[in-house]
Chain A
Amino acid sequence: MSAVVSTMDQILGQHRFFADFPPDFAELIAGCARNTHYKPGEYLAHESDRADSFFILSKGKVALEVAVPGKSPVVIATLGAQDVVGVSWLVAPYCWLFDARVMEDMRGISIDAKCLRVKCDADHDLGYEMMKRLLPVLTQRLHATRMQILDVYGKS
């Protein structure tokens, strides 16, 4: 193996979510980020837990699911490489709304939400850059959810 070691801001830059992110900001984010590794069956988060981190996936698969009494949990969506898991960290009261269960060996970056919130509050330009990236994720999820509700393949 070659001994090339990427710095955290370089790793972040390789992710779709941070594409074309200003280098100064990448360094700020890197200060809140760390590499993570979860095995199948582990949970990134549980419903109603404090949302004090969010995840950028580079490998693996994660299910967002909701527990249903007396039944197996309902999966709302599955997320994979290049996806972001978690937006609840951005909105008070900063609590997870779903369980995030690892389906396939997951590698990625976990970002300390509290750390990032403080930095975004201090530097609104950074905050705006983050919002520009998170809002499309939210609208896409919303749109996909609407289409799920439509039940387009349903029996008529």
Chain B
Amino acid sequence: MRGSACSSAWFSGIDMNIIVCIKQVPETTEVRINPETNTLMREGVKSIINPFDMYAIEEGVRLKEKVGGKVTVLTMGPPQAEAALKEAISLGADEAVLLSDRAFAGSDTWATSYTLAAGVRKLKEYDLIICGKQASDGDTAQVGPGIATHLDIPQVTYVKKIEEVKDKTIRVERMTEEGYEVIESSLPLLITVVKEINTPRMPSLRGLMRSKQAKITVLGVKDLDVEATHLGLCGSPTQVAKIFTPPARPEGEKIEGTAEEIAVKLAEILKREK
């Protein structure tokens, strides 16, 4: 039936429960390296919503607008991650949950997805979980699939389009290196989305007013059904053994002269390096 006229049979009134998982990250556009000390200069570095999660929020809100339902944003982080959740509300999310506890500190992707999955279970009803394809500070792309696995639900990563949603199924396009795949799945499902999927909206004045008054649910260890051995640093199989600044590249060679002379020199270099 693909490609036929009925292929975009959007069902309104499904009332989906959509969960969007987000992360607060340092704005890397602001992160600079001090050339003398070779250390991070993070003066004035703002915390923002992971850029890829902005597409996840937008897709959740668009889906809700189309088929009805509710969007809940979920994050794990320190108390100040509330700001990210409030921003998500200003962009159209309905409710927000923050998982915050010192016991969560030091979580790697295993423990993070374990904790977020416990948060999702706490919300009980859900049809679709949306995550950004990866976080800009870690770039691991592991937490989305991790949550799905902990919850024992299917996943589709790198989704670039939601083609259709029906009562209990969904059809999406998954981006690959060569093109894309069309995948159908039962619900509940977890998807991670790429930036091709939409253009995130700007916040709205009413959304900002709503977010200002929004009450964020904060859950800690005792609120979740979790085992301490799976949390935080303890629950994380990976350990950071060493952190170092990458060796600076050797000073480059400056090529000077007239445009003609430069072109001649470059042509020789290219011939050699090619």
B is bound to A:
no
B residues engaging A (CB < 8 A)?
Answer: none
A residues engaging B (CB < 8 A)?
Answer: none
